[in-house]
Amino acid sequence: MSRFWKIALIVVAVVVLVIVAVRLLHKPGGAGRPGGMGGKDDAPVPVTVVPVVRENVPVYLTALGTVQALNTITVNPQVGGQLLSLDFTEGQPVKKGQVLARIDPRTYQASYDQAVSKRSQDQALLATARSNYERSQSPQYKQYVAQADLVTQRNTVAQYQAAVAADDAAIQSAKTQLDYTQIRSPIDGLAGIRSVDPGNVVTTSSTIVTLTQLHPINVMFTLPEQNLDMVRTAQQAAPLQVTALDRVDAHPVASGGTLKVVDNQIDTATGTFRLKSEFPNEKNELWPGQFVNVRLQVRVADGALVIPAEALQRGPDGDYVYQVQADNTVKMQPVVVAGEVGDSHVMIGSGLKAGEQVVTEGQFRLKPGSKVNPLKPGEVPPAPSAAEMQKAKQQGKGGGRRGH
């Protein structure tokens, strides 16, 4: 084939392609309007819309917290000896003053009895010395008693008085040691797992059991240092409320907590400060060592703008919503989110006004300028008429022919 015929064939092919492209571009519903969406003859897109409303919104700070017992007591004997019995049930509550364990008291009982006997002996000697001193001072005997003997008798009385006082102290000490053979709970709390068994010989370094006080209970958490002024200012105005949330699905585990302490220094390594909150924990919702999400309410924003969270869209240039305009077309409206309101709404800082309509369902079918059929939440669009269905059918057939 000559070069002339090759050039002729190429020209003819180009002309055919141009004619086909022109016909496709000039057909109704053609490629110039992909999917038929956005053209002036397209049906409005049904979407769910809600108005922007004003509400009094609580403002929260959130953090990860650790549950901590109000008091944790390690029970150790204060005297040594053989452990006779354990008088508590592991994992069960104990009352303050309740006997937890008993140590063999016989040695300490003997020491107490000995101290009591010694005091009786010294009391008898004191009585004799006091009687002699009083008799020596009487008028009928005073002239026969030398002054030196009188001084000696007075000193003997003082000596036995001191001996009796020392005996009283020895008795008190022996009584205390004897009482220590009954180990009592210092708090109302919950008993843990025992560390010794009856029959073992224990010392003052032995651990009997650990008690934890659960009512009330503390939750410790940290916040970034930039929140310090906000928390301190809010705490001065009124006690701050704290809620503990489950870490899995963020539902409230315990409410009614109160912020008790803001630590007096910032951790320079992490740039955070510690806080302590207290919960009544009447139903044992919180347990020592448990991790929870903490929600601290610092203030209430009066008249804040609120929209459902599903209306908020995220794009490369930031957050935006599809706002419905007066002519039932939509536009992409940039917004600034000021915070979350529970799990279902967000607070808008700027970009919207109260009463403006935003799309909450059907956004995936929209683009700026799309015509919409605004519906209330739960409302469904009416069924298409026969004429509308026929028109859609014809458009569908036309689209099918374009593919051949």
Spatial separation of the C-alpha atoms in residues 54 and 47, rounded to whole Å: 23
3-state secondary structure of 228: helix
Cα 331-335-336 angle, rounded to 5 deg: 175
Which numeric CATH code is attached to 60-70+210-302?
Answer: 2.40.30.170
The whole-model pTM stands at 0.64
Does the pLDDT at position 185 exceed 70? yes
Spatial separation of the C-alpha atoms in residues 378 and 133, rounded to whole Å: 108
Question: pLDDT averaged over the chain?
Answer: 85
**Pairwise pLDDT comparison (21 vs 272), residue with the higher score:** 272
3-state secondary structure of 100: strand
**Average pLDDT for residues 153-182, to the nearest whole number?**
93
Strand-pairing partners, residue 59, are 299
Q: Of the candidates 94, 66, 63, which has an alpha carbon nearest to the alpha carbon of residue 286?
A: 66
User: Given pLDDT bands bounded at 50, 70 and 90, which one contains residue 37?
Assistant: very low
Q: Using one digit for the tens of pLDDT, what is the confidence trace for 166-180?
A: 999 999 999 999 999
**Six-digit token string for 287:** 């347990």
Q: Where in the chain are the domains?
A: 1-32, 45-52+312-375, 60-70+210-302, 78-205
Q: Using one digit for the tens of pLDDT, what is the confidence trace for 212-269?
A: 999 999 999 999 999 999 999 999 988 999 999 998 877 889 999 999 999 999 999 9
- Is residue 298 within a helix (H) or strand (E), and if so which, with residue range? strand 291-308
Residues 6+ apart with CB under 8 A from 336: 318, 319, 348, 349, 350, 351
Does the pLDDT at position 100 exceed 90? yes
**Six-digit token string for 240:** 């701050």
Instruction: Give the pLDDT confidence score for residue 117 in this predicted structure.
Output: 95
Does the pLDDT at position 116 exceed 80? yes
Strands 272-279 and 182-184: unpaired
What is the share, in percent, of the chain residues with pLDDT greater than 90? 58
Q: Of the candidates 47, 50, 48, which has an alpha carbon nearest to the alpha carbon of residue 306?
A: 50
Q: CB-hemisphere CA count at 13 Å for 401?
A: 11
CATH class, range 45-52+312-375:
mainly beta
* Number of C-beta neighbours around residue 306 at 10 A: 23
**Average pLDDT for residues 50-77, to the nearest whole number?**
92
How far CA 31 is from CA of 18, 186, 395, in Å, comes to 15, 84, 13
| DSSP assignment letter at 249 | T
Instruction: Give the pLDDT confidence score for residue 391 in this predicted structure.
Output: 63
